[in-house]
Amino acid sequence: MTHSDLTIKIHNSKTRKKEVFEPLDPKNVRMYVCGPTVYDRAHLGNARPVVVFDVLNRLLRYAYGDEHVTYARNFTDVDDKINATALMRKEAGAEGTLEELVAERTEETIDWYLKDMGALGALEPDHMPRATGYIAQMIVMIEDLIKRGHAYPDGAGHVLFSVKSYPDYGKLSGRSVDDMIAGARVEVADNKRDPMDFVLWKPSTEDLPGWESPWGRGRPGWHIECSAMAHDLLGESFDIHGGGNDLQFPHHENEIAQSCCAHPEGEFARYWMHNEMLQVEGKKMSKSLGNFFTVRDLLDQGIPGEVIRFVFLSTHYGKPMDWTAKKAKEAEKTLKKWYAIAETALDNEEPYIGVVNALADDLNTAQALAEIHQLAHAEDAPSLRASLLLLGLFNGTTPEWATAPTADLSEFEALLATARETAMQTKDFSEVDRVKAALLEAGVEVRMSKAGVELLPGAGFDASKLDALK
Residue 329 labeled ligand binder:
no
- Residue pair 407/426 in contact by the 8 Å Cβ criterion: no
0.75 surpassed by pTM? yes
Q: Tell me the per-residue pLDDT of 272-326, one tens digit each, with 9 for 90 and over.
A: 999 999 999 999 888 888 888 999 999 999 999 999 999 999 999 999 999 999 9
pLDDT at 374: 97
Stretches in the chain below the pLDDT threshold 50 = 188-189
pLDDT at 188: 47
- Residue pair 305/120 in contact by the 8 Å Cβ criterion: yes
Residue 253 labeled ligand binder:
no
Residue 332 labeled ligand binder:
no
Q: What angle do CA 308, 309, 314 make, to 5 degrees?
A: 100
Between CA 87 and CA 64 the distance in angstroms is 47
- Residue pair 157/219 in contact by the 8 Å Cβ criterion: no
pLDDT at 407: 81
| 150-154 contacts at long range (C-beta below 8 A, 24 or more positions apart) | 150/257, 150/258, 150/261, 150/262, 151/200, 152/193, 153/215, 154/189, 154/190, 154/191, 154/192
pLDDT at 178: 65
- Residue pair 240/56 in contact by the 8 Å Cβ criterion: yes
- CA dist list (Å): 414 to 72, 292, 454, 461: 59, 44, 10, 19
pLDDT at 167: 93
Q: Tell me the per-residue pLDDT of 183-237, one tens digit each, with 9 for 90 and over.
A: 555 554 457 888 899 999 999 988 888 999 999 999 999 999 999 999 999 999 9
pLDDT at 177: 63
| 11-14 contacts at long range (C-beta below 8 A, 24 or more positions apart) | 11/273, 11/318, 11/362, 12/271, 12/272, 12/273, 13/172, 13/245, 13/248, 13/272, 13/273, 13/274, 14/171, 14/172, 14/269, 14/270, 14/271, 14/272
Residue 192 labeled ligand binder:
no
Distance of CA 247 to the CA centre of its chain: 14
Residue 251 labeled ligand binder:
yes
Give the H/E segment covering residue 311: helix 305-313
Q: Are strands 237-244 and 29-33 parallel, antiparallel or unpaired?
A: parallel
Cis peptide before 264 (omega within 30 of 0): no
**Which listed CATH number (1.20.1280.50, 2.30.30.90, 3.40.50.620, 3.30.565.10) goes with 10-275?**
3.40.50.620
Which sequence spans correspond to the domains of the chain?
Answer: 10-275, 279-402, 409-466
Neighbouring residues of 437: CB distance < 8 A, sequence distance ≥ 6: none
Between CA 393 and CA 310 the distance in angstroms is 7
Q: What angle do CA 202, 203, 208 make, to 5 degrees?
A: 115
- CA dist list (Å): 94 to 81, 82, 85, 104, 395: 18, 15, 12, 11, 41
Q: Are strands 278-280 and 283-284 parallel, antiparallel or unpaired?
A: antiparallel
DSSP 272: E
